[in-house]
Copies of this chain bind each other. A is one copy, B any other.
Amino acid sequence: MHKILIINTGGTFNKKYNPISGDLEVDQEAEALDSLASKWLCKFNIINIIGKDSLEMTNHDRLELLATIHQSNNEKIIIVHGTDTMHLTAEYLADSDLEKQIVLTGAMVPYSIDPVEATANFASACGYLECLQKEGIYIAMNGLVGPYEKIIKERQKGRFVLKNIT
């Protein structure tokens, strides 16, 4: 099996209910991926950075993400990312001419509220990356996985769809 690096940047995937504030907040402990690894009976190689809702992600944050990718020896990388700006980050990485295979994934529903969608998105990214042989930036969401240009969030429906299917 290939060694995959997971870069966890936050987003809805990692949100957790805070009973004191009554709000959902990005879990800075990033327990979601640890729970997933433990229940899936496998180990992940995880780096936690940024820890934000993707609407609050700045250019500085994307620079930090890029630096983290550059510093790693892994060819195969999964980025856990908020869904609202996933496409923006995908384009940013595509413009950076990385000689890596990178799959972005995330969730519409926090793992801590219902783990099914988050788990399925993430695991489909793992399976795809295991088989992948071509460098590039990919997205894995809601049963779709492929080059990032083809898969896009449809906000009204609250899920990712294939682009330009009529």
Contact = CB atoms under 8 A, between A and B. Distances in A.
Given A110-B17, A121-B123, A40 B143 contact: yes
**Chain A interface bracket (under 10, 10 to 19, 20 to 34, 35 or more):** 35 or more
A142 B41 contact: yes
B156 A143 contact: no
A127 B125 CA distance: 6
A79 interface: no
Tell me the dominant secondary structure on chain A's binding face: mixed
A42 interface: yes
B17 A22 contact: no
A58 interface: no
Interface of A: 1, 12, 17, 19-20, 22-24, 35-37, 39-43, 108-110, 112-117, 119-132, 140, 142-146, 155-156, 158-159, 162
Given A42-B142, A120-B123, 20 more contacts: A1-B146, A17-B24, A19-B158, A20-B155, A36-B116, A36-B120, A37-B143, A39-B109, A39-B120, A40-B116, A40-B117, A41-B143, A112-B113, A119-B119, A123-B124, A125-B127, A127-B140, A127-B145, A128-B130, A131-B131
